[in-house]
Amino acid sequence: MKKTIAMLFTASLATLSSGAIAFEFPANWSEWKGVNTTLTGIGALPGCEADVSSLPPIYQETVATYCALREGGPGKVNILVAPGSESNYQKRDGHFSDGPQMALHLIDLKAIMFTGYSNGLPVYRTYGEDGKNLTNAMPQLSEETCIVCHTGYEAFCLNGQCGTAK
């Protein structure tokens, strides 16, 4: 018995040290406000066979990363911003208070990709609409994958926030 508790404790420490301190699933996410972006203008993420050669490279890479999530592509998307953070969002400089702040809602897949902040630094989590944590459910949803674009495309994403002003 003692051994089990010790093992559980070690396991939870390991989770914490791998950066799990982030934010809880925001239960009010469906009340967040939608914003207009390049992606919401496109409206949906297409399947892998789609010709996206006319899109900017980061959008091509987004399609390539996520097209296989479902036959025919992930489908309809929306971008949502937490209440009170709309003006921060419009500045597009990645300055937000801590907690969940922005969401990419995969409407057809009933999943939501969240960008939040912890000590001013971006943190990424994916949840089902029901609050189930899907962050490590598949490689495309892992935080490492999010970082590839949200940190990697410096010209397009600032401190975790992507998207050109509209």
Strand ranges, E, within 9-74: 33-34, 44-45
Among 50, 61, 78, 133, binds ligand HEC (CB under 6 A): 61
The CA-based diameter of the chain, rounded to the nearest angstrom, is: 60
Residue 10 or 90 having the CB closest to ligand HEC: 90
Strand stretches in the chain, DSSP E: 33-34, 44-45, 75-81, 99-106, 111-118, 121-128
Residues 125-144 that bind ligand HEC (CB under 6 A): 126, 141
Q: Which is nearer to ligand HEC, 4 or 53 (CB)?
A: 53
Distance between terminal CA atoms of the chain?
A: 58
Of 23, 25, 47, 65, the one binding ligand HEC (CB under 6 A) is: 65
Nearer to ligand HEC, 11 or 147 (CB): 147
User: Per-residue contact track with ligand HEC, 143 to 162, x per CB under 6 A?
Assistant: --xx-xxx----------xx
Name the residue nearer to ligand HEC (CB basis): 133 or 145: 145
Q: Is the dihedral of CA 127, 101, 38, 164 positive or negative?
A: negative
